[in-house]
Amino acid sequence: MDTTLFSSLTIPAPTGQGLTLRNRTILSPMCQYAVERQDGVANDWHLQHYGSLAAGGWGLITVESTTVNPVGRISPRDLGLYDDDQEAGHAHLVSFMHRQGTAAAVQLNHAGGRASGQPWLAGTPGGSVPIDEGGWQTVGMTDQSVAPKYRTTTALDEEGLHDIATDFATAAQRADIAGYDAIQIHAAHGYLLHQSLSPITNTRTDEYGGDFTGRTRLTYEVVDAVRAAWPASKPLGVRISATDWVEGGWDLESSIRLVRDLVENHGVTWVDVSSGGLVATSLQPAGPGFHVTLGAAVKNALANTDAVVSVVGGISSPEQAETMLRTGQVDAVSIGRAAMRNPHWPANAAAKLRVPREEIPCAPQYWRAQW
């Protein structure tokens, strides 16, 4: 059967041909909390994890939240991209993924007040890792705690915020050397850029706070710094939380205003739509495809551009993904937990949608399973 899910997709770039994906399945970034010596370096776990996914046919694999400096790590066990060993570890992953025919993106992040956190595990209390157990003092937009059980953050001054934009740019240069095809800047899920965007957590009174212009300033600085450091021939993406689901918080209207300008004037060509993560709220939806209306709203707002819009959240059935694409709600699907349950989700989905056997995306070693 002819499917949209398994048709190719090009994410444009400011110059050149852009990045053509073999299909429209995108692996959503998911922290593995698997770094062993707090050194931010990928190890055997990461190679088997991303390697297995790459063999399973993804169009684009987005490697988990990778921090741009040590203070920005979500947890002590995060990947980093701020030293040579980390860069070499990423290069090894990318080389293997490319050999399986998948494109590779890295999600660059700074966790701000949510740094130094406990790796997310069922049954653990969450919140900050104590300093005497390997945690560290966090930095962010204000001298406040940004979430329950997280320590009080030290507010960065203007110079400190500029330094963060510079760290993002340096990590982008390392990402290029490591061979990545795309970068996704993490501006969602309650981390530093989202903390700066939302009026709930950004109560600054200087030029990095206040109105929309002030609260988006850091995001613009980071995007512009990365775009300048990252080859113009490679796509730059942004993941947003389209709304905080809280009255008076960051909302869809602000998201659309931001991403439209980022796409039209700042070289962003891929927007990945998520939501929430800043404050707990009962309004946060769940269930099959729970962000699709937000993704469709962003897609609609960017209809006169060539930017690619993907959406994440509760996508697990191939038929549902196919319908979302065929009806033009979004251009691509980002898939998280279903990929951890089944790393070969694309190959299995292709078989289920009756894609011709010889076109099923998977490692040649596994083609034999299709016969």
Interaction site with ligand FMN (CB under 6 A): 28-31, 64-65, 107, 186, 188-189, 239, 274, 312-315, 335-338
Q: Which residue is nearest to ligand FMN (CB)?
A: 336
Here the contacts of 114-118 (C-beta below 8 Å, separation 24 or greater) are 114/74, 114/138, 114/146, 114/147, 114/150, 114/190, 114/191, 114/195, 115/67, 115/71, 115/72, 115/73, 115/74, 115/139, 116/73, 116/75, 116/76, 116/151, 117/74, 117/75, 117/150, 118/75
CB of 188 to ligand FMN, least distance (A): 6
Q: How far is the CB of 143 from ligand FMN (least distance, A)?
A: 26
Is 33 a residue of the active site?
A: no
Torsion angles phi and psi, residue 53, rounded to 5: -60, -45
Nearer to ligand FMN, 204 or 343 (CB): 343
The answer to whether the beta carbons of residues 296 and 327 sit under 8 Å apart is: no
For residue 17, the minimal CB distance to ligand FMN (Å) is 27
Task: Give the Cα separation of 284 and 37 in Å (integer).
Answer: 35
Q: What does the CA dihedral 221, 115, 284, 280 come to, rounded to 10 degrees?
A: -120
Q: What are phi and psi of 13, to 5 degrees?
A: -135, 160
Q: Which is nearer to ligand FMN, 4 or 241 (CB)?
A: 241
Whichever of 25 and 142 has its CB closer to ligand FMN, that residue is 25
**Residue 24: HSE in the Cβ half-sphere, 13 Å Cα cutoff:** 27
Two structure tokens written together for 361: 């995306």
Tell me if residue 252 falls in helix, strand or coil.
helix
The least distance separating ligand FMN from the CB of residue 277, rounded to whole angstroms, comes to 8
Smallest gap from Cβ 289 to ligand FMN, in A, equals: 9
CB of 33 or CB of 230, closer to ligand FMN? 33
Nearer CB in complex with ligand FMN: 155/242? 242
The residue annotated as part of the active site, out of 33, 50, 82, 191, is 191
The answer to whether 276 and 189 have CB atoms below 8 angstroms apart is: yes
End-to-end CA distance of the chain: 17
- Interacting residues of 297 by C-beta distance below 8 A, sequence separation 6+: 242, 252, 256
Beta pairing partners, 62 = 105
Q: Do the strands 60-67 and 79-80 form a parallel or antiparallel pair, or are they unpaired?
A: parallel
Taking the least distance from each CB to ligand FMN, the nearer of 77 and 189 is: 189
Q: Taking the complex as a whole, how short is the minimal distance between the CB of residue 11 and ligand FMN, in angstroms?
A: 17
Query: Distances in Å between the alpha carbon of 282 and those of 115, 245, 278?
Result: 24, 9, 13
Which of residues 29 and 249 has its CB atom nearest to ligand FMN in the complex?
Answer: 29
Tell the smallest beta-carbon distance from residue 184 to ligand FMN (Å).
8
Query: Catalytic residues, which ones?
Result: 191
